[in-house]
Amino acid sequence: MANDMKALLQFAHDTWLGDYTRHNSWLFTLGLVLHFIGLCLLMGGMLVIDLRILGLAKRVPIGSVLAVLPVAIVGFVLNLLTGIMFFCFDPFGYWRNPAFNIKMALILIAGLNALWFTFTEHRRLAATRGGFNTSGAAKLSAAASLFLWFSVILFGRLIVAFQGSSSLF
């Protein structure tokens, strides 16, 4: 492991948050409960939006369905915050866990996909309030979004099973 990385992980480990969570295990338990509720909010919002883009409930204008986006964003932020807490609890353990490595890579790709959608399709679709049709590119992005986020859940759930394995890096 590179020294820079080691220093970064040590920094996360030594933060007040990491220290506090290691000494108060109920906080980790509470964090996991919130992480599961957050993933429901994220997936509920994404399912409604992505399935509509893929052609479900065609009578509803896309602009109306995009109003559900804040539900997904709240879920994502909740999971980002609780996720940072889990990471600071045991940075070295997570970093060398292959399931965690894959989960982070998938979140990165899902995030880039969401950014692409936001800056190209979202603006156009939100501007045409009566918009009912979506482009092929938007459909591909929506399908990728569902596949990626469900894969994030899969690999997130495998983290415990992979405890003690060696890192992919």
Partner 1 sequence: MGWLSWLESLPLSDWVATSDWGYALMLAIHSIGMAAIVGLLLVLDFRVLGYASAIPISAFRNFTPYAWAGFFLNLISGALLFASTASRLVNNWPFLAKMACIIAAGATTYWLWRELRTRSPSDFEADSHSNVALIIASPLAKTLAVLSTALWLSAIVFGRLIAYVMDHAILNGQ
> Contact residues for partner 1 (CB under 8 A)?
25, 29, 32-33, 36-37, 39-48, 51, 56-57, 59-61, 63-65, 67-68, 71, 150, 153-154, 156-158, 160-161
Q: Min. distance of Cβ 30 from partner 1 in angstroms?
A: 9
Q: Min. distance of Cβ 82 from partner 1 in angstroms?
A: 12
Please identify, using beta-carbon distances, which residue of 15 and 163 lies nearer to partner 1. 163
Q: Say which residues have a Cβ less than 8 Å from residue 49's Cβ, sequence separation at least 6.
A: 65, 66, 68, 69, 72, 142
* Sequential DSSP letters for 47-68: HHHHHHHTTTTTTS-HHHHGGG
Please identify, using beta-carbon distances, which residue of 9 and 43 lies nearer to partner 1. 43
Q: Min. distance of Cβ 46 from partner 1 in angstroms?
A: 8
Q: Say which residues have a Cβ less than 8 Å from residue 9's Cβ, sequence separation at least 6.
A: 91, 92, 95
Please identify, using beta-carbon distances, which residue of 83 and 156 lies nearer to partner 1. 156
Please identify, using beta-carbon distances, which residue of 6 and 29 lies nearer to partner 1. 29
Q: Say which residues have a Cβ less than 8 Å from residue 74's Cβ, sequence separation at least 6.
A: 38, 41
d(CA 106, CA 57): 28
d(CA 121, CA 86): 34
Q: Min. distance of Cβ 7 from partner 1 in angstroms?
A: 27
